[in-house]
Structure 1
Amino acid sequence: MKLISFDALRTLHFPSTHYIKPDCYLQHDAEIESADWLLFPEYWQLNVLHYAYKKRIFPSPASYALGHDKVEMTRAFMAVAPEHVPFTLIHGNSPEKADEIWQKMPRPFVAKIPKSSMGEGVFLIESLADWHQYCLQTHVLYAQEYLPIDRDLRIVVIGDKVVGGYWRVQAENGFHNNIARGGTLLEGPLPESAVELVLKLAKTLGIDHAGFDIAMIGHYPFVLEFNRMFGTQGINKIIGDTTPMILEYLNAAMNDEDQPEDPDDPNGSTPKGRRVRKPAIAA
């Protein structure tokens, strides 16, 4: 299996992987053409690698597209499992919409900057002053029901499987559960209902590399978000090196794709990951 990586650190333990600097990728046409998989490209590379080169990409294009923006992510969750999404209001930022959200949301509530991660850009709104300060920082207003929890779950999906997870206990000096923001990692069993929800979301949306954040209210799971490039601090401790899991998935996915199609099927198509060059038309 020929692998090209655009993230040397993420693929440090991958065997026989050729690293290309993202800024130089268009200078390596032949290598990209011959690769079986392109691993961990930058977000801005995705469209060219997917639509122009038509290559297999890991994480999946859906993992990139939905993981890049909390607005698109939340709307996708609402489409697949609306009963598991906290009450959320999303609008373009205007004085009228800001006032509308303020009137509708029970307080306290959570406000988020759509393109943020690691707990950054997440605010607890307790007063009108808090709300006004948040509104000055974003073009899109994202307000979500505050859930009365002191911990949440990080459940990790690789390929088409949940490979593990852990609890994240809230930091003493705030309401963030993120390890990067002072949250504490806690081992423990993963509730079956949470695992089932994550698998449903991941499989329906085509997400194959993500850390899903799940809040449990009693035995009922609510999905908060997922992170395509989740931190490895807790993962390495609880699950171990994920390299073999990723390689197993890549091999299986490629083998499934390359199964010969029915020669009598008139709808047979070019296998994914193959760019077909049309012959030049003679003058």
Structure 2
Amino acid sequence: MALQVLALEARLRACRNVRTIGVRPNFTDYNPEEVALIRRAEKIYYPTAFYADLFDAMGKATFPSYHTYKCVQDKIKQSALFQLVGLPHPKTRVFYGKRQQLKIKRHFQYPFIAKEPRGSAMGRGVFLIENDADLEHYTQGRHVCYIQQYLTIDRDIRAVVIGSQVAHAYWRIAKKGEFRTNVARGGRISLEPIPKTAMALAIHAAKTCGWDDVGLDICYFDGQYMILEANMKYGREGFRAAGIDYYAMMERMIDEGYI
């Protein structure tokens, strides 16, 4: 049996070659044996954003990478990074405060998309803004507005990159009358072949951004593939639909030293 690696979060708790000790809000809550394990470990798996920051400061490797954690559930950082490195991404702007919010309609025409800029997932906090009333409802009491171009699509691709390869990719097709493709919002998974161009974009984007465990949402619009957003806490519905044992796959990647 291969040696066990150490994890804090419970994501790999079902893997035979991973010892999960949990996340303690105070480091002093770890017992002496756990402290010794953490200090000796060459790499810590799923350390959380808080501990990933600290482990990076002390030079200890983590999986996912420190850079992956920097953009967890932060659409503002993600969009800025996509724009900075030149990755294809829908027109997106962030507006701060009431004065900037008054300029939203100067940059976007109805309909457009508004999102919770941080902390949302599974299609929650994503709004289709079709008129002044919708915009007023979204901006009311809100200091930060994340506004994105509306794309007339009924499907997108979820490409999960682990390490430096696409571990799995599949289509998500929106249900009738729904603009969101999320499975949690009734989206349907399709295992039809994924274009090589989209797969290559996923690998390039993950490498460019320094992410090694991420679900990238990619769509085809106006003659090109573009990245909608990145999900570091992606679901595993697509793996189950394809008959892929996620835990066995991760065990193998760890055993082979791939991650």
TM-score, structure 2 length as denominator? 0.88
**Quick one: distance in 1 between partners of 2:249 and 2:143?**
39
Gaps of 5+ in 2: none
More off after superposition, 156-165 vs 245-254: 245-254
Q: Which runs of 5+ in 1 are unaligned?
A: 255-283
Confirm or deny: 8 A CA contact 1:81 1:201 kept in the other structure: no
> Residue 6 of structure 2 corresponds to which residue in structure 1?
4
List aligned pairs for 1:209-224, cutoff 5 A.
209-217=213-221, 219-224=223-228
Note the alpha carbon deviations across 1:47-92, whole angstroms, 9 max, x for none: 223224x32211111111123310001111112234x111111121
Residue correspondence of structure 1 range 27-176 to structure 2 within 5 A: 27=30, 28-52=34-58, 54-82=59-87, 84-92=88-96, 94-115=97-118, 116-136=120-140, 138-176=142-180
Cα pair 1:114 1:140 within 8 Å, conserved: yes
- The superposition leaves residues 151-180 of structure 1 with CA deviations (integer Å, 9 ceiling, x where unpaired) of 111011010001221111113342111001
1:177-198 per-position Cα deviation (integer Å, ceiling 9, x unaligned): 1001111111111112211111
Offset, 1:253: 5.3
Highest CA radius of gyration, 1 or 2?
1
Say whether residues 1:225 and 2:225 are aligned partners. Answer: no
Q: Secondary structure at the match of 2:102?
A: helix
Question: How many angstroms apart in 2 are the aligned matches of 1:19 and 1:33?
Answer: 15
* Aligned equivalent of 1:21: 22
Relative to structure 1, the CA distance from residue 36 to residue 243 in structure 2 (aligned partners, 3 Å threshold; closer, same or farther) is farther
Change (3 A) 1:16 1:153: closer
C-alpha contact 2:17 2:251 (8 A) present in aligned 1 = no
Distance verdict in 2 for CA 1:16–1:194, change over 3 Å: closer
- The percent of aligned pairs where both chains have the same amino acid is 32
The 4+ residue runs of structure 1 with deviation greater than 6 A are: none
With over 3 angstroms needed to count, the CA separation of the structure-2 counterparts of 1:99 and 1:218, relative to structure 1, is: closer
Return 241-250 or 25-34, whichever deviates more.
241-250
Q: What TM-score, normalized by structure 1, do the two folds share?
A: 0.81
Give me the whole-angstrom Cα distance separating, in 2, the residues matched to 1:19 and 1:51.
22
